[in-house]
Structure 1
Amino acid sequence: MDTINESESLAKYAKALSHPTRLAILKHLENQSCCCTGDLIELFPLAQSTISQHLKELKNAGLIQGELNPPKIKYCINQTHWQQAQVLFLQFFS
């Protein structure tokens, strides 16, 4: 990956991580194999639409992935992008 692509990826991940609720969702998913939106609604005192918006931001950044399991969507961390984000942040801060 070249420097411009790395910078773009790092900025995309940083933007997704820029909200405390999204950080908490990722922390929760890191300790679970997967979960559904309803599970997160029980954990966080937020509206379902707010949780869904945070999930959308994390998914757009590639940090999580969703699997349709009608009528629910099961979310888990996208391990490939999660590891890439960790490497990029470590390189940036070193």
Structure 2
Amino acid sequence: MNTQTFQALADPHRLQMVELLRGAPLTVGELAARLDLKQPQASKHLRVLSDAGLIELRPQANRRICHLRPEPFQDLDDWLATFQELWKERFDRLDDYLRQLQTPAPSDDPGETP
């Protein structure tokens, strides 16, 4: 797992940019406007995302269009999947334990009434 991915996504503005780009590619100006950032601030955040390989900036006339790159997110998903199996096993054991707690214990004397 690339730690640069986590470092890039740790900043709230960059995470918001990724969330916006999930819907559709946007220009730098559109991202800046939607997040109420100045263009230089937005560009700085986008450079970090680009350096981490999370986005690609494509020039189009005098604008730069930002696109998400799927590969780093697939890598992140693959890494998280290893934890899903671990948690599934733990939840299965917890479920078994809770069933044991709900099963009444047999009494020592079969004729005894509670």
TM range (shorter): 0.7 to 0.9
The equivalent position to 2:68 in structure 1, one of 77, 88, 94, is 77
Unaligned segments of structure 1, at least 5 residues: 1-5
CA distance in 2, matches of 1:83, 1:73: 24
- Select the structure of larger CA radius of gyration: 2
CA contact (8 A) 2:28 2:43 kept: yes
Within 5 Å, give how 1:23-38 maps onto structure 2.
23-32=15-24, 34-38=25-29
Q: For each residue in 1:56-93, what CA deviation from the matched residue of structure 2 results, as whole angstroms up to 9, or x when unmatched?
A: 00010001111111211111100122211222244367
Structure 2 unaligned residues grouped into runs of 5+:
87-114
| 2:32 matches 1:48 | no
* Identity over aligned pairs, percent: 24
Question: Please, which of 7, 12, 26 is the counterpart of residue 4 of structure 2?
Answer: 12
Shift of 1:16: 0.5
Instruction: Please tell me whether the aligned partners of residues 53 and 69 of structure 2 are also in contact (alpha carbons under 8 angstroms).
Output: yes
**3-state SS, counterpart of residue 88 of structure 1:** helix
Coordinate RMSD, CA, aligned: 1.6
Instruction: Give every structure 1 segment of 4 or more consecutive aligned residues whose post-TM-superposition deviation is greater than 4 Å.
Output: none
Of the two structures, which has the highest relative contact order with CA contacts closer than 8 Å and spacing of 6 or more? 1
Instruction: Look up the SS of the partner of 2:31 in the other structure.
Output: helix
Contact 2:5/2:72 (8 A) holds in 1? no
